[in-house]
């Protein structure tokens, strides 16, 4: 996402797999441009250790990260798109220019 400009938005869906097909179809039909990972209960501890952030019983977690894996912002509920836009612009700049 963002044409290799140093940030990436990732969506984690937690819980069981019963809604996986519905979620996948929804994301596909809406041409979602973010990576989506489905995490079952067995892998939840591994993900918690990787993210260094405990899961709060939410159905999803959306994370904005920069190159190198540094977490810029986490969203456990609905995304504030204005805040997201400001955070992305802060990290990649307002305009794209090749050096």
- Domain annotation covers residue 99: no
Q: Which domain holds residue 20?
A: 2-92
Domain-embedded: residue 81: yes
Q: What is the pTM of this model?
A: 0.65
Pick the range with the lowest mean pLDDT from 26-40, 45-59, 71-85: 45-59
Residue 98 domain flag: no
For 59-98, write each residue's pLDDT tens digit.
777 888 887 778 888 887 777 888 888 888 888 777 666 5
Residue 47 and residue 40: Cα distance in Å, rounded? 10
Supply the mean pLDDT for the chain: 76
């Amino acid at each position: 996402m963002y044409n290799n400009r140093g940030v990436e938005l990732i969506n984690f869906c937690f819980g069981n797999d019963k809604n996986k097909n519905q979620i996948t179809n929804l994301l596909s039909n809406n041409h979602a441009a973010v990576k989506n990972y489905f995490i079952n209960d067995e892998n939840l501890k591994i993900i918690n250790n990787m993210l260094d952030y405990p899961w709060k019983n939410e159905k999803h977690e959306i994370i904005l990260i920069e190159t190198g894996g540094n977490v810029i912002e986490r969203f456990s509920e609905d995304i504030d798109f204005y805040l997201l836009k400001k955070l992305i612009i802060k990290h990649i700049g307002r305009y794209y220019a090749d050096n």
